[in-house]
Amino acid sequence: MKQSQGIEQQKEQLFEKEKKKGLFWSYAPSISYHTVGPEIVKEQVLKYGDFDDISQAFVLYGTQSMYGTWEKTLKPDVRFKKLNLFLARIFFDLDIEADYFTGGMSEREKKLRILAERNTQPS
């Protein structure tokens, strides 16, 4: 029990550290770890954290959890192709090339296409 409390405290400290760096700039300044939740914290650290922050997140959340977040949020987003290749090779020990991430659209691009299609359809 005491160890899990220590892990939770370390997760909150990582969040506060990243918040001070500006990783959560689009959120209210008073946002807390519990309000944001671990999925957003993991995603932001994977996208914008430095090597040490990412390494710490892997220790705190575990490789499987970080892999799940990466696969769901970053891997399909073609805007992060170089980052995805780095994460795949260094942190997930995957032997892949950059073309592994080609094809597909980012979630943002998909949403924009849907909106564009709606705007071009006759009323």
Q: Which of 96, 80, 99, 77 is nearest to 88 (CA)?
A: 96
| Cβ neighbourhood burial of 103 (10 Å; 0-12, 13-18, 19+) | exposed
Q: What is the mean pLDDT of the chain?
A: 87
| Helices 38-48, 51-61: inter-axial angle, 10-degree rounding | 150
Run of H or E including 116: helix 107-120
The predicted structure's pLDDT at residue 2: 54
The predicted structure's pLDDT at residue 21: 93
The predicted structure's pLDDT at residue 12: 96
What global pTM score does this model have?
0.77
